[in-house]
Chain A
Amino acid sequence: MGLIYTEEQKELLAMVREMAEIEIKPYVQEADEKGECPRELFKWGFDMGLHMLEIPEEYGGTGLSYETTAMIFEELAKVDAGYAITFVTTFVALRNVILAGTKEQGQYFADKIAPGGFAGFALTEPNSGSDPAAMRATAVLDGDEYILNGTKTFITNGALADVFVGFFKTDPAGGHRGISAFIVDADAPGVTVGAHENKMGLRLSNTTDLIFENVRVKASAMVGPEGSGFKLALNALNLSRAFVATMAVGIMQRALDEAVKYAKERKQFNTPIIKFQMVQQMLADMAIKIEASRCLVNNTMRLMDQGNLVQKEGSICKTFVSDCAQEVTSNAVQIFGGYGYSKEYPVEKLMRDCKVFQIFEGTNQIQRMTIAGVLEREYK
């Protein structure tokens, strides 16, 4: 593997790998079939402190670097990306609070997560995906409180989260500048978990609608200044794209691990199929794409660790890696032949799991628009 790991990173990865292989892996197939993850499986992650990785030490977290956190999530994603994303999503929400929140908000968020909690990020609506300015959810000031109304959709951890960072229009006529961010407790009166999404992949990950009906939050729950929510969400998502990519690297690595193992065992014409050049080419191309992806993720993480907001780099990373993942997992199925198409073997799931990586956290089409937009500015 292309990266140079520190002793600490190696030790952490070995520990996480052992736990995931022994405690999580045996239950993944059944959970994927059912489309739900038993809560007791998350206990292992909580016991290890995976929910605190990115929370700063000043709030009682581990304060790990983005670089090391990403390595840990790649490791988890090898076993199941849906399991990994359940923890990752807490930090997607957290990054908004870190970027724009007050110390009190940071501590509040950390205290919600510390006992074994998850967070969610509530931005998307049925008619507002790539175009957040079209959102309809509203926040209306009433004394020292805001009243929240609206429906959010495709909310990762919708039914699991203890706290959300949600986005609402404080000025319905204000377009992008009319959006504000709020910290909302999941148990606040008026917050209802809607329908659970029956997804193609990442089926261990909980994805639901989220309905806000006259939910009252203190004005102090607003994250950043009024009207800054759109910019905040974009900045937080920029920092989250490489985390999506690190999980895709994990999925790809698993696909390669399984494919090489199978290609060495499977014999046709009395020859292990790994000896056939066309199989060799597929395996080599898989390895090339994984290696390049992992290095790209690592570099993006290191840029982020230095305080860079990675608007272009995050988009490049997410787009390249998730595009690679389609080919890599598809070819893993190809190498397994008919067995690859069967649910008896693990590779068809990897192909299903990785498709969404081209879609969520901004579609790869939107990413390319972002990249081109930055290029246009850079070459002025």
Chain B
Amino acid sequence: MNIVVCIKQVPDTTEIKIDPVKNTLIRTGVPSIMNPFDKNALETGLQLKDQYGGKVTVISMGPPQAKAVLREALSMGADDAWLITDRAFGGSDTYATSYILSQAIGKLGPFDVILGGKQAIDGDTGQTAPSIAEHLDAVRLTYILDLQVDGDKVIARRQVEEGIEVIETVLPVLCTATKESNKPRYGTVKRKIASLKAEIPEITLADLVGADQSKMGLKGSPTKVKATFTPQRTASGVNIEGNNPGEMAGSLISKLADAKIL
């Protein structure tokens, strides 16, 4: 089975600081990590490989520093890693990023399973991975818990608000993983050492022959950021206490009624 996992390097904090002038993230002084949901996606890929055999490729779009997360993925068990990097890709929004990633995946593939995290903890859009499926015309399965593959047939369990949805479809699929999908493995000492010595090849604009450059970078991004800010926390939550669930539910209903929400 040929598997590709899209991973992103993100600042290790949920308290993102924003540059008030440029409206961009301030990354200096904040340690960078692999986006936690992408780590779940990688674990899903590695488990598929453990079960069905095959190869796990990881890709990341970003500046050269993003090689650190690709190396981490290698230390966990990925077979090869590619950095997608070019000045022309800078400033891409989720649409442009997903277009560039889909082009890179097309160049490296074909793949049976494309994986990504459900969202990145910095931008929190949750759009990039599903959009890749649109560009590649692959089946899109978000928030998956696990996958069972039998030939071309795939059975996926999806975590949805109402419960668990079981979907049967055919390869190729794009799936996004969540925290509930699995517990990512640690690297091994041997792989960690090898990963630090590994050459991480790059895919640049020149490698994406036939791609439409007008869909890339800041100019290719339909999203225009009007303002970015850290919201002020205006009111803290209320703890509802009681002796049993019924009592607590009653208390909640009366509070909601008082607030004219019900």
Contact = CB atoms under 8 A, between A and B. Distances in A.
Contacts of B62: none
A47 B196 contact: no
Contact of B189 (A18, A44, A62): A62
Interface in A56-101: 62, 64, 72
A53 B188 CA distance: 10
A376 interface: no
Chain A binding surface, main DSSP class? helix
B186 A49 contact: no
B150 to A, nearest CB: 28
A49 B189 contact: yes
A11 B192 contact: yes
Interface in A342-359: none
Interface string A1-39: 000000110011001101100000000000000000000
A53 B186 contact: no
B119 interface: no
Which of A7, A15, A44, A53 has the most C-beta atoms of chain B within 10 angstroms of its own C-beta? Answer: A15
B193 A15 contact: no
A368 B192 CA distance: 40
Contacts, number: 37
B185 A15 contact: no
A62 B193 contact: yes
A62 B190 contact: yes
Interface residues of A, number: 18
A238 B5 CA distance: 48
B196 A8 contact: yes
A52 B196 CA distance: 19
A12 B189 contact: yes
Which of A11, A47, A50 has the most C-beta atoms of chain B within 10 angstroms of its own C-beta? Answer: A11
B23 to A, nearest CB: 33
A62 B185 CA distance: 19
A200 interface: no
Contacts of B75: 15
Contacts of B185: 47
Contact of B193 (A8, A19, A44, A47): A8
B196 A49 contact: no
Given A7-B196, A8-B196, A47 B189 contact: no
A162 to B, nearest CB: 20
A44 B183 CA distance: 13
Contacts of A19: 186
Given A7-B196, A8-B196, A15-B75, A47 B186 contact: yes
B188 A48 contact: yes
Nearest to B71: A11
B228 to A, nearest CB: 31
Contacts of B192: 8, 11-12, 15
Contacts of B196: 7-8, 11
Contacts of B187: 15, 48
B189 A53 contact: yes
A270 B139 CA distance: 64
A12 B194 CA distance: 11
Contacts of A8: 192-193, 196
A48 B186 contact: yes
Contacts of B188: 47-49
Which of B75, B186, B196 has the most C-beta atoms of chain A within 10 angstroms of its own C-beta? Answer: B186
Contacts of A16: 189
Interface of B: 75, 185-190, 192-193, 196
Given A12-B189, A12-B193, A47-B185, 10 more contacts: A7-B196, A11-B196, A15-B75, A18-B186, A47-B188, A48-B186, A48-B187, A48-B188, A49-B189, A62-B190
**10 closest cross-chain pairs (CB), A and B:** A49-B189, A49-B188, A19-B186, A62-B190, A49-B190, A15-B187, A8-B196, A48-B188, A62-B189, A48-B186
22 contacts: A8-B192, A8-B193, A11-B196, A12-B192, A15-B186, A15-B189, A15-B192, A16-B189, A19-B186, A44-B186, A47-B185, A47-B186, A47-B188, A48-B186, A48-B188, A48-B189, A49-B188, A49-B190, A50-B189, A53-B189, A62-B190, A64-B189
